[in-house]
Amino acid sequence: MEITSTASSYNISTDESALLAIKNRITSDPNNLLLNNWTQATPFCNWYGVTCGTRHTTRVTSLRLLSTALSGTIPKEIGSLSFLVFLEFGNNSFQGDIPQEIGFLRQLRHLSLQFNELTGLIPQSFGSLGRLRLLDLSNNNLVGTIPFSIFNISSLRVIDFNDNQLHGTLPMDICGNLPRVLGLSASSNQLGGELPSLSKCTQAIYISLSRNQFTGKKIELLLWCLLAISLPCVEACDGSCRSMQEVYPRKLVTSQYFKGYIWDGII
pLDDT tens, per residue, the chain with 267 residues: 344 333 333 456 999 999 999 999 999 999 999 999 999 899 999 999 999 999 999 999 999 999 999 999 999 999 999 999 999 999 999 999 999 999 999 999 999 999 999 999 999 999 999 999 999 999 999 999 999 999 999 999 999 999 999 999 999 999 999 999 988 999 899 999 988 888 888 888 878 888 888 876 554 555 555 455 555 555 554 443 333 333 333 333 333 333 333 333 222
Buried b / exposed e over 84-115, threshold 16 CB at 10 Å, is: bbbbbbbbbebbeebbbbbbbbebbbbbbbbb
How would you class 158 by CB atoms within 10 Å of its CB: exposed for 0-12, middle for 13-18, buried for 19 or more? middle
Q: Hey, where are the domains in the chain? A: 1-144, 152-267
Alpha helices in the chain (DSSP H): 14-24, 33-37, 218-228, 239-242, 244-247, 250-253
CA distance 79 to 18: 8
Predicted pLDDT at 230: 52
What pTM, to 2 d.p., does this model score? 0.82
Predicted pLDDT at 200: 86
Predicted pLDDT at 220: 52
> CA angle 94-208-256, nearest 5°?
150
Write the CATH number of the domain with boundaries 1-144. 3.80.10.10
Predicted pLDDT at 232: 56
Specify whether the CB–CB gap between 235 and 262 falls below 8 A: yes
Predicted pLDDT at 191: 93
CA distance 241 to 243: 5
Specify whether the CB–CB gap between 40 and 8 falls below 8 A: yes
CA distance 227 to 220: 11
- The helix or strand, by DSSP H or E, that contains position 168, with its residue range, turns out to be strand 165-168
CA distance 33 to 72: 14
Specify whether the CB–CB gap between 244 and 222 falls below 8 A: yes
DSSP category for residue 123: P
